């Protein structure tokens, strides 16, 4: 079912506010906890932010493929493998935050200019059945940084509740 204009506007605003929410969550992380993992196989705050940057770059391209290509194919990726392959803990944090902010700003501006049939453009996603729409893209990415901001808060809560030991 298609989104109403007011729902799209609300989602675009939510999307645009994502970097601020991520930065606010990061600002609540105590010193020394940024690279702490709440459990084996779980991401640290640092890894969450690096993932957010990679995800934003993918989202940026995905939206543009959906809008500009005739029969776009949106390719999935293994986010856990990216975290491992790119050794997120070895990467500086601030450039990842800058990527998130810059890419979101650029894409939010694009979203605000879309009219009419742009919202009904579709493609195929390699990891999802059926059509992958611009509106579905917006729902996913409007929620994405909010979800990771909550994940950061959960990491801090886990650390405060006795997990405050060093982790690898």
Is domain 5-163 classified as CATH 3.30.390.30?
no
Predicted confidence (pLDDT) per residue in 116-165, tens digit = 899 989 999 999 999 999 999 999 999 999 999 999 999 999 999 976 65
Domain layout of the chain by residue ranges = 5-163
- How confident is the model at residue 165, as a pLDDT? 58
Q: Strand pairing of 73-74 and 122-125?
A: parallel
pTM summary value: 0.93
> Listing from the earlier edge strand, what are the strands of the sheet with 131-133?
73-74, 122-125, 131-133
The mean pLDDT value for 17-26 works out to 97
Q: What is the DSSP string of 99-110?
A: HHHHHHHHHHHH
């Amino acid at each position: 079912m298609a989104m109403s204009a007011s729902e799209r506007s609300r989602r675009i605003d939510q999307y645009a506010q994502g970097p601020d929410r991520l930065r606010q969550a990061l600002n609540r992380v105590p010193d020394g906890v940024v690279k702490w993992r709440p459990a084996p196989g779980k991401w640290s705050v640092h890894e969450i932010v690096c993932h957010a940057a990679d995800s934003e770059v993918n989202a940026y391209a995905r939206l543009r493929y959906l809008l500009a290509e005739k029969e776009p194919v949106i390719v999935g990726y293994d986010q856990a493998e990216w975290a491992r392959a790119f050794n997120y803990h070895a990467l500086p944090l601030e450039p990842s935050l800058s990527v998130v902010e810059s890419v979101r700003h650029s894409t939010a501006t694009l979203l605000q200019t879309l009219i009419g049939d742009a919202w009904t453009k579709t493609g195929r996603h390699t990891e999802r059945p059926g059509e992958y729409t611009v509106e579905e893209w917006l729902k996913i990415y409007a929620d994405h940084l909010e979800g990771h901001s909550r994940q950061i808060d959960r990491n801090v809560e886990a650390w405060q509740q006795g997990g405050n030991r060093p982790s690898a």
